Structure 1
Amino acid sequence: MTTWLTSDSHHRWLEQETDRLLSFGRYAQDPRGGFGYLDADGRIDASRDVELWITCRMTHVYALGSMMGRPGAAAYVDHGVDSLLGRLRDEEHGGWFAAIGADGPTNTAKEAYGHAFVILAAASATAAGRPGAAALLDQAVAVHTERFWDDEAGMSRESFNRDWSEEEQYRGVNANMHTVEAYLAASDVLGDRELLDRAARIVTRVVDVYGRDNEWRLPEHFDLDWNPRLDYNEDEPAHPFRPYGATVGHALEWSRLTLQAASSLQQTGRATPEWMVPAARDLYAAAIRDGWNVDGQPGFVYTTDWEGAPVVRERMHWVAAEAVGAAAVLWRTTRAAEYAEQYQQWWDYIGEHLIDLDKGSWHHELSTSNEPSATVWPGKPDIYHALQATLLPRLPASPALAASLAAGNLGKA
């Protein structure tokens, strides 16, 4: 069938959008180290500290740009790697600070979310062949293995204080989702099948247990024994990292990661569990059912309650980006026409409402009437989700993006 996913002209547009996003992010470098939080105009928001997760995401995307032959991208990767080996690293206690300001660390917590992104950034920089990246990746995997990986649970712990002596009394699926992403990326770069097995264990528990048991509305928050806390943050439903209820975009992201894990297991000669592809389809379908156009306006709501009713109705750009990625990988896996049709539908929405042709990048948040808003995500902090949405349709389900680019897979899916 004819579809955008196989269209050379659409792929050329995706490449142009990749370059437009990389151009927008070029002012994010903080000369003292790391990458700053970008405002709506693409300039560093001086009121915000340099944060670990943004620094890692930007290092990752410019590593991808470097491997695509974008002149100047390598300098951004090196800047990120140097910052992660220097300014953002805790030389005394190990690991990485969550945030740092002009006079030193401003958030000394050791967070699984940020540390997963250190692995991702280091893996991508290593695939790109940048100096210091391999040593950074070894450090990042070692810290995560020692401090965060809970082998008995088959999941990642959440966070600690600076010297690792106090652990937060919380477990979260968001950090585990990005741990899956990071482990898959590092496994491909290092040839470390243990990391792939860990990723598969996380996916199994989150998707095949928690997702299946909750009608594919994924619980996000847990106690230390992994009992769901379904009322967590009910009084702060629009939290940017720990919102109340089910997060529509995470179901889409887990759908894609489940398929990536399945493909990686198959490619390495491991048995792929039969539940993986059907579960990925069910997760995606539930997210579309609960999240898309449910209040009379196009777009995905941010969160729903446990019956599927919208809670936070603002539209986040990253949810639409993840819908694109999930639809693309589902189509490549199943060749079902519905995913090709929805893939085009998601891009039409993005093109009409999210892409900012005036100031660059994508609006990170829209109101229920699809006008720019800033209740959860002011500005345009980084380009990670949007840029990945321009690459996933042009690459196979696995290996991960950086390893796939290094293998010359772009445009051959």
Structure 2
Amino acid sequence: MAEKIISFIMSGGVGTRLWPLSREDFPKQFHDLSGKGSMVSGTVKRMNARPSGHGPIFLIASEAHEYRLRHDIAGLPLNGGRPIFEPLGRNTAAAVALATAITLAEYGDRLILVAPSDHEISTDDDFWKTIHEGEEAARSGRIVVFGIHPDKPETGYGYVETGQEKNGVYDVIRFVEKPDVETAKKYLQSGNFLWNSGIFLFSAATMKKAFLEFQPEIWNKTVEALKSAHTDISGTWLNYEHYAAIPSDSVDYAIMEHVKDIALVPARFHWNDLGSWQSLLNQQSSPTPPDENGNVIIGDVVAINCHGSYLRSEAGLLSAVGLHNMAVVATTDATFVAPVKESQNVRDVVATLEKAGRLETKFTPAADKIPQSGAYLTRVEHWLFDEALPLWSTRGVDEKGGFYEALGFDSMPVLRAKRMRTMARQIYAFAMAGEMGWDGPYKELIDHGLEFIGKNGRTDRGGWVLQLSQDGKVLDATEDSYDQACVLLALAHAHRVGNKKALPLAMETFSFIDLHLADKNGKGFFENAKGDGEKTFRRSNPHMHLFESFMAWYDVTGDRDYLERAERIVDLFKEHFFDEDSWTLAEYYDGNWQRAASPEGDICEPGHHFEWSSLLVDFSKKTNDRSVIKLAKKLYASAVANGLNRKTGLAYNTISRHGMPIDTNSRSWPQTEAIKAALALDGNDGPDLKPEIEARVGRLFRWHIDAAPKGLWIDLISENGRAIAEDVPASIFYHMITALTQYRKFAQHWKLG
């Protein structure tokens, strides 16, 4: 029986050279470029095709691609292997070290085959014949690389210079990085340079020895990362802190350039890394072979007098006339055009977009988009005016004072203590209804709410308490900055619709905030009037709501004092809240506004990313500060790339700063904030987000509203799409009415325009 070979498929790349098709959330290895399934599934099938026996198959992939990976390899045997999920990319040296350490720990000193997941190889039989020719050299203690005879002066591949040959195996003189075109021509003419396929065969003991000799830090930290990893039926999950400590380097630089006795076996198979649009013109297994003019045409394309071009449309009709040797790739939100020979330089386009904070490199437009802008206008208006407002203005109102905290799914009140933020948000919701033109008793409802909180919820210092009993007794007198912000927002909109009590109450509240909540060092506001947070945690979220309320008061008064207050919070956001490295916003900080220690400091909420994003765009409109637009785009991009459940399309409740889901359930309010963010960013020098807006409104109705009784919503959806809410919290009506009011305005404008 042939010796067992342990196969490791490297599937952590992004494939930027195939942008705009390949993106961070949907890289090329998960695309079907051959018509036979995704590239990663084809690679797994190839590893299973060894004539002399199957060995375990492992896949090293990004945690962010877990869902796509599982979808693509479902039903394919791994023969005792499993996925290994990286919390972040550490390049190929770490991947090879992982493969070696896992093999030694679980199988002993066996042969290891490392191969990329995204290459086209002519036949499985030719592939394994080539691998077999390298087995003897690998067993003798040599690292074997498989080389490809070049047929053109390619500048996108690394090369391997070969020396003496014996029995079809060549000595390697050196590895060289991707050359310029003149150097590539010399390599081609010399005849002793082959392309580096990135496929390696070696014994575990040989590779461990090489790491210990040349890269001991990478080896030792990889072993430590494996010790802290968690393995279950789904795979092995590497710990972020330990894995991030591994130096990031390619295996070519880290190992291959230092090892003296490396062997090369020329490939028997046809090989294409499908790493550029030019390479797809030469693809043997293309789902659509070249036409009589040498064009590869995919999708809805009309080509007239075109020759030698790659024309692909993932969206609507693409028409081209007189193109020669061109690549044109159109998706729903981006189009790439370049001469075929220049198509490698798409990497420069991606780098430019990322530097500008553009979203198109981060995420793929949703497949369930609705092309008609404003498609949900009628449904939104019906739900607001005929279902939700009539219900909450009656069943949601406590005749004894204020509003109920929640309704059950039978539309009956849930009796529990009344939070100040909920009372304020219901006042706000009815004021917004009045602004929209609702013909219900919004003025009476505002008075009803203000009377209850004004009579029962004020403190002697002019602040607002945290919580009241059902009959108005103070249960918690804490003057929390979050609640003060909610009250200020409600008062701003009550003032807008003519309530006479709102302005004096707001002035007293502003005085209280300035005297008792403001950090005298100019670093925002404390959690409450006791100064809590200075010694424990301080949070970004109350500042976001104060930011929102300050801008609301600027809107209703035109007084720049409120805008200056908002500007100070933006300064705090830029200096402390926003993490430029991860494009994330933390929830918890220490007393000096440094991200809190883990685990609290690692928590991010996609919903707050969306919420800040829309508020920053609003601030930009008021101040002409365009710098915050870039920050808003980055927040939106990171939330979309890492914060969405790929099964439902809904935003997770919480994720880590590195994009790992923490609370995988989905509340309704983050979905409303995603709508607001898309509405705000649409038309701000970025992609057309109108289809995305419709898709997000559609998901809100699909998962949260349509499944609930009339006028209510399902507040909590599980990771698998199951409704798990016990009741309907009134505090969320604020989110619903804000997002759907903004959508209504957008849709009406689009219909009229």
Tell me if both proteins adopt one fold, taking TM over 0.5 as the criterion: yes
* Paired letter, 2:658: E
- Normalised to the residue count of structure 2, the TM-score between the two structures is 0.47
Q: Does 1:320 align with 2:671?
A: yes
- Which residue is 2:742 aligned to? 392
- CA positional deviation for 1:360: 2.6
Q: Based on CA coordinates, which of the two structures has the bigger radius of gyration?
A: 2
Q: Distance in 1 between matches of 2:509 and 2:374?
A: 38
Contact 2:533–2:590 (CA under 8 A) maintained in structure 1: no
Q: Distance in 2 between matches of 1:333 and 1:340?
A: 12
Counterpart in the other structure of 2:644: 292
Task: Determine if contact 1:210/1:218 at 8 Å carries over to the other structure.
Answer: yes
In structure 2, what is the Cα distance between the partners aligned to 1:73 and 1:5? 35
What is the correspondence of 1:272-311 to structure 2 with a 5 Å cutoff?
A: 272=625, 274-294=626-646, 296-311=647-662
User: Equivalents in 2 of 1:225, 1:354: separation in Å?
Assistant: 39
Match of 2:8 in 1: none
TM-score by length of 1: 0.83
The answer on whether the counterparts of 2:712 and 2:728 sit within 8 Å (CA) in structure 1 is no
Change (3 A) 1:395 1:142: farther
**1:151 shift after superposition:** 5.6
Aligned to 2:595: 228
How far residue 314 of structure 1 moved from its aligned partner, in angstroms, is: 0.3
Which SS does the other structure have where 1:181 is aligned? helix
**Aligned equivalents of 1:202 and 1:251: distance in 2?**
16
The whole-number CA distance in structure 2 between the counterparts of 1:334 and 1:86 is 49
Q: Do structure 1's residue 342 and structure 2's residue 670 form an aligned pair? A: no
In the TM superposition, 1:121-160 aligns within 5 A as: 121-150=490-519, 152-160=521-529
Q: Paired residues, what number?
A: 379
Once the two structures are superposed, residues 186-210 of structure 1 have per-residue CA deviations (whole angstroms, 9 ceiling, x without a partner) of 1211222122122122123225643
Among 207, 213, 216, the alignment partner of 2:583 is: 216
Higher helix share: 1
Do 1:255 and 1:326's aligned partners in 2 also have CA atoms closer than 8 Å? Answer: yes
Letter of the aligned partner of 1:282 in structure 2? K
Q: How does 1:163-312 map to 2 (within 5 A)?
A: 169-207=536-574, 209-231=576-598, 233=600, 245-266=603-624, 272=625, 274-294=626-646, 296-312=647-663
Evaluate the alpha carbon distance shift between residue 226 and residue 9 of structure 1 in structure 2; reply closer, same or farther with a 3 A threshold: closer
Maintained 8 Å contact 1:158/1:168: no
Q: 1:43 to 1:208 in 2, by over 3 A?
A: farther
**After superposition, what is the alpha-carbon deviation per residue over 1:33-73, rounded to whole angstroms, capped at 9, x for unaligned?**
22221133343311x11110000000001001122232212
Percent of aligned positions with the same letter in both sequences? 23
Query: Contact 2:617–2:629 (CA<8 Å) still a contact in 1?
Result: yes
Structure 1 residues 165 and 287: CA distance shift in structure 2, 3 A: closer
For the residues of structure 2 that align with 1:5 and 1:174, how far apart are their CA atoms? 34
Distance of 2:686 and 2:458 partners within structure 1: 45
Contact 1:365 1:378 in 2 (8 A): no
Deviations 1:83-119 (A, max 9, x none): 23212112x3431111111361111111000000110
Question: In structure 2, what residue type is equivalent to 1:352?
Answer: R
- Which moves more between the two structures, 310-319 or 192-201? 192-201
Distance 1:207 1:159, change over 3 A: same
CA contact (8 A) 2:405 2:730 kept: yes
Counterpart-to-counterpart distance in 2, 1:33 and 1:357: 27
CA offsets 1:135-155 (integer angstroms, 9 cap, x no match): 222222222222223363342
1:355-394 → structure 2 map (5 Å cutoff): 355=705, 356-374=707-725, 378-382=727-731, 383-394=733-744
Output the amino acid matched with 2:565.
R
Q: Residues of 2 paired with 1:229 and 1:8: CA distance?
A: 42
Question: Is the 8 Å Cα contact of residues 63 and 77 (structure 1) preserved in structure 2?
Answer: yes
Question: Which one has the bigger strand percentage?
Answer: 2
Query: Could you list the per-position Cα deviations for residues 300-342 of structure 1 after superposition, in whole angstroms to 9, with x for gaps in the alignment?
Result: 11111121100000011001100001001111434621x2222
CA spacing shift, 1:332–1:148, aligned 2, 3 Å: farther
Which amino acid is the alignment partner of residue 255 of structure 1? Answer: S
Task: State the AA in 2 paired with 1:194.
Answer: D
Contact 2:376 2:697 in 1 (8 A): no
Please give the secondary structure, in 2, of the residue aligned with 1:311. Answer: strand
- Whole-Å Cα distance in 2 between the matches of residues 159 and 168 of structure 1? 12
Match of 1:380, as an amino acid? P
Tell me the secondary structure at the aligned position of residue 390 of structure 2.
helix
Distance in 2 separating the partners of 1:257 and 1:165: 26
Structure-1 separation of matches of 2:458 and 2:413: 21
Aligned ranges for residues 8-157 of structure 1 at < 5 Å? 10-19=376-385, 20-26=387-393, 27-41=395-409, 42-46=411-415, 48-70=416-438, 71-90=440-459, 92-101=460-469, 102=471, 104-150=473-519, 152-157=521-526
Q: Quote the Cα distance in structure 2 between the aligned partners of 1:385 and 1:363.
A: 14
Q: Which amino acid aligns with 1:392?
A: Q
Change (3 A) 1:392 1:105: same
Name structure 2 gaps, 5 residues minimum. 1-315, 317-331, 333-368
Instruction: State the AA in 1 paired with 2:618.
Output: Q
Q: How much does 1:224 deviate?
A: 1.9
Mark the CA change 1:393 to 1:82 in structure 2 (over 3 Å): closer, same or farther.
same
Decide whether the 8 Å contact of 2:717 with 2:724 is kept in 1: yes
- Deviation for aligned residue 1:215: 1.1
**Distance in 2 (alpha carbons) for counterparts of 1:5 and 1:121:** 36
Deviations for 1:254-297, whole angstroms, at most 9, x for unmatched residues? 1001101111113xxxxx1x421111111101000111134x44
Report if aligned partners of 2:457, 2:465 keep a CA contact under 8 Å in 1. yes
CA-atom RMSD, angstroms?
Answer: 2.9
Q: Specify the SS of the correspondent of 1:77.
A: helix
Residue 204 (structure 2) aligns with: none
Shift of 1:361: 2.3
- Partners of 1:43 and 1:333 in 2: how far apart? 44
Higher mean Cα deviation, 168-177 or 304-313?
168-177
SS of residue paired to 2:406 = coil
Deviation of 1:369 after TM superposition, in Å, equals 1.6
Q: Does structure 1 conserve the Cα–Cα contact (< 8 Å) formed by 2:633 and 2:681?
A: yes
Cα contact 1:52–1:97 (8 A) shared by 2? yes
One-letter amino acid matched to 1:384: Y
Structure 1 regions of 5+ residues with no counterpart? 235-243, 267-271, 397-408
Q: Which amino acid aligns with 1:73?
A: Y
CA positional deviation for 1:184: 0.5
- Hey, what does 1:239 align to over in structure 2? none
Measure how far apart 1:362 and its partner are: 1.8
Q: What code does the residue aligned with 2:693 have?
A: Y
Using CA pairs below 8 Å that are at least 6 residues apart, which structure has the higher relative contact order? 1
Q: Which moved more, 1:307-316 or 1:221-230?
A: 221-230
1:160 Cα shift? 2.9
Q: Aligned in 2, Cα 1:179/1:410: closer, same or farther, shift over 3 Å?
A: farther
Distance in 1 (CA, whole Å) between partners of 2:472 and 2:424 is 21
Distance in 1 of aligned mates of 2:611 and 2:468: 29
